[in-house]
Amino acid sequence: MSPPMFPRTPAAAAFRSLERVLVRRRLLGVDLRLRLELLALAGLLGGFLFWQARIPLDGLLRMRGEGAVAAAVLATLLAMAALGGLIAGSRHAVRLRRGPPGPPWLALPLPPELLGRHLAFDSSAPALALVVPAAGVLLGAAGLAPAWWLAGCALAFAVSLAAAVGLGCAIAFRTAAAAVPSRPALHPLTRVLATAARRARSARLPAPRWRGGPVWLTLWRKDLLLSWRPTPARQRALPPIVLAPLAALVWWLPLEIPVARLLAFALALLAAATFAEWLIALAGCDPFAVLRTLPVGVGAVWGARMASAAAGVALLLAGQAAGARALDPQPHALFLVWTGAATLAIATLGANYGVTTYPHHDQAQRLLGLSLGVAMAASIMIPLLGWVLLLTAVLHSLRRLPRWTALEAS
Amino acid sequence: MLKVEELSRRYDSLLALDRVSLEVRPGEILGLLGANGAGKSTLLRTAAGLQPPDAGRIEVAGADVWREPIEAKRRLGYAPEEPTFYEEISAAEYLAFLAAIRGLEPAAAAARAHELFRSLGLVDRVDEPVHRFSHGMRKKLSFAAALLHHPPVLLCDEAIEGFDAAAALAAKQVLRERAADGCAVLFSSHVTETIERLCDRVVILHRGRVARTLARADWGGRDSGLSPLEQEFLGILAAAAPPAPA
């Protein structure tokens, strides 16, 4: 995506500088583990699309030749660019409606055109993620069409993505401006932002359901609610939601069974690790002074987290059970037992660390990463040693659960 | 009802509480006065179960806060000086969550929450996420949360500082009513006038120790009624209020 064209004014320079800082901060703000997870996800998605594209493109080459392959690749990339425009436009529309992030923009002496360009730039960032599937499709076509044709397709994708994103944001802005009352003296952006600020002040949530039930169930419901709302727990919920279905989809790829089994198992472990991170993030969402002054014991807190752990592992196993049907009954059962035990141990470790280090969830995330890293390294060095270490960590953290009652905030 | 015996608490080299003992009887509002750093918040946080004492014990309606924490916390309401919340849920969702945790009957808890929201002037904002609340509104919500379950012991740590005038008057009235029902209230404040008006006795903390205990008669025995300014203000509010629905 090309950067927006700013006129040469001090405000334009300030916006360019702000955007550079924002991009840098957002990249640095993602911790190393999450960066690696995102890279792994991008690799998996790219690889998946590579295989999905390679076989039909190869068939196309045999039937209609190189030109048809290049045309198919170009059409796919243009469709992706259009999707990018849709993503950027819908995100821009939502942000204009709810009020864009940042300072109180209307209080700053800024030309509305400049501000509008900056807000569109900020809304467009997720569309860049389409570079990953586009790269997967281009790699899938490598060798099936001349390289310079594919380079042209890549260039066309970059240009059309930038154009689609710009068009999407422009449509979003015009739609937002049309939806607010007309005031000829005011710039449309000013009207849109002023209306958004009024909406933001009066944002309402649905009325709660007043209900009883055991304490662990109330805590579990609260955990689900916090994962639904814009909290750090919601951000952590996304990777396992993506990884668990990918782990099941592996079985449908044209792979040898041993390779598919290994890949599915590795992805299931990765899904369990990110799921454990979500469980820890939930612990981080509980305000210390709220939870500790309530008549809540460690059993209820741990029970709520383990209910989530058990439900997550059950869903993951259901996907694997459906996917691994190609295996004979005995290896199938063994694979499920092995995967279930490993993923449940990892999820339990996350739940335990979240409880025993409360309210220092950052320490819990580091402990989890360290424990899983050591277990994996040990498994590579000596078969099964990693499992011994993992189970030891689970048992050790279980023994420390009663500490929860005496933990302090500082 | 609330007994604090020989309570000590140290932060590294600072002795924040030094063998503090006090008792709040049923139906009594005990004021806690002291300069910044005197140990008021430390005492209340320890009594609420947020930090363990180094020595001594705290008993809430017969239950030791650190030996029987769940029983003690069932009988305790705590309104802290700087309240924290689940920021992304609404005020009503927050009280519904607390009511479920405390095992309150849902319909009665909803009615009680509405009554508290109404008296504190929050009733129009209960469906908004807490992160949109001003400082005063957050303190009101914390106060409502502490009172939701009719606790026999109430700990208020500068709980009504930051309230607007009408809500402060309503809160004081609620506290008096709770005390009349037999609740023991430990009320910490920097505002001596509030303590003078509201409290039956006052404990003055100084450098972590109980410096003095005063009864109402010791500070001139001003009654707990309204000041002329408060009466005038309430009169204006009453005149401007819309008529009650039939």
Partner residue facing A287 (CB), from B51, B86, B104: B86
Partner residue facing A287 (CB), from B85, B90, B128: B85
| Shortest Cα distance, chain B CAs vs residue A3, angstroms | 34
| Shortest Cα distance, chain A CAs vs residue B133, angstroms | 10
Q: Which element (helix H / strand E) includes B168?
A: helix B165-180
Partner residue facing B127 (CB), from A205, A213, A406: A205
| Shortest Cα distance, chain B CAs vs residue A406, angstroms | 7
Those residues with Cβ within 8 angstroms of residue B178's Cβ, 6 or more apart along the chain or in another chain: B147, B150, B154, B185
Which residues, in sequence order, are bridge partners of residue A217?
A: none
pLDDT for B8-17, tens place per residue?
A: 999 888 899 9
Q: Tell me which residue range forms the domain holding B199.
A: 2-240
Partner residue facing B88 (CB), from A231, A292, A409: A231
Q: Is B163 helix (H, G, I), strand (E, B) or coil?
A: coil
CA angle A383–A387–A392, rounded 5-degree value? 135
Q: Is residue B246 part of a domain?
A: no
Kindly determine whether residue B80 and residue A208, on different chains, have CB atoms separated by under 8 Å: no
Domains in chain B, number: 1
Burial of A17 from C-beta contacts in 10 A (0-12 / 13-18 / 19+): exposed
Supply A381's token pair: 């060095």
Test mutation, A202, A290, A404, A410, chain B, max B CBs within 10 A: A290
Q: How many CB atoms lie within 10 A of CB B152?
A: 20
Of A10-14, A93-97, B42-46, B164-168, the least confident: A10-14
Cite the DSSP H helix spans in A30-102: 32-64, 66-98
Of A49-53, B42-46, B121-125, B237-241, the least confident: B237-241
Interatomic CA distance for residues B58 and B43, integer angstroms: 10
Kindly determine whether residue B86 and residue A201, on different chains, have CB atoms separated by under 8 Å: no
Q: How many CB atoms lie within 10 A of CB A311?
A: 13
Residue B99 belongs to domain with CATH number: 3.40.50.300
pLDDT at A203: 73
**Which pLDDT band holds residue B228 (cuts at 50, 70, 90)?**
low
pLDDT average, residue stretch B156-170:
90
pLDDT surpasses 50 at B26: yes
Kindly determine whether residue B96 and residue A406, on different chains, have CB atoms separated by under 8 Å: no
- Tell whether A406 is within 8 A of chain B (Cβ): yes
Residues 128-187 of A with CB under 8 A from B: none
Kindly determine whether residue B89 and residue A226, on different chains, have CB atoms separated by under 8 Å: yes
Supply A399's token pair: 């023994």
- Residue A119: name the closest of A159, A170, A155, A80 by CA: A170
b (16+ CB within 10 A) / e for A42-77: bebbbebbbeebbeebeebbeeeeeeebbebbbebb
Contact residues, chain B, for A292 at CB < 8 Å: 48-50
Kindly determine whether residue A205 and residue B50, on different chains, have CB atoms separated by under 8 Å: no
Q: Mean pLDDT per segment of 10 residues, for chain A of length 410 residues?
A: 55 84 80 75 80 87 89 94 94 87 81 89 89 91 89 94 95 91 84 77 81 94 93 90 92 88 93 96 94 93 96 95 89 94 96 92 89 86 87 93 76
Interatomic CA distance for residues B20 and B7, integer angstroms: 5
Interatomic CA distance for residues B177 and B182, integer angstroms: 9
Interatomic CA distance for residues A378 and A393, integer angstroms: 13
CA A174 vs CA A92, A171, A383: distances in Å: 11, 5, 62
Partner residue facing A208 (CB), from B49, B71, B92: B92
Q: Which range in A234-238, B49-53, B91-95, B195-199 is most confidently predicted, on average pLDDT?
A: B91-95
Test mutation, B10, B88, B138, B153, chain A, max A CBs within 10 A: B88
The long-range contacts involving A333-342, CB below 8 angstroms and separated by at least 24 positions, are A335/A261, A335/A265, A338/A265, A339/A264, A339/A265, A339/A268, A340/A313, A342/A265, A342/A268, A342/A269, A342/A272, A342/A387, A342/A390
Q: Is residue B187 part of a domain?
A: yes
Partner residue facing B86 (CB), from A285, A296, A405: A285
Interatomic CA distance for residues B95 and A293, integer angstroms: 14
pLDDT for B107-140, tens place per residue?
A: 999 999 999 999 999 998 999 999 889 999 999 9
Do residues A167 and A85 make contact, with C-beta atoms less than 8 angstroms apart? Answer: yes
Interatomic CA distance for residues A135 and A50, integer angstroms: 8
- Residue B179: name the closest of B49, B37, B27, B18 by CA: B27
Per residue, the 3-state secondary structure of B1-25, as one string, reads: CEEEEEEEEEECCEEEEEEEEEEEC
Q: Is B65 helix (H, G, I), strand (E, B) or coil?
A: coil
pLDDT at A1: 45
Q: Is residue B141 part of a domain?
A: yes
Interatomic CA distance for residues A303 and B174, integer angstroms: 37
- Tell whether A235 is within 8 A of chain B (Cβ): no
- Tell whether A230 is within 8 A of chain B (Cβ): yes
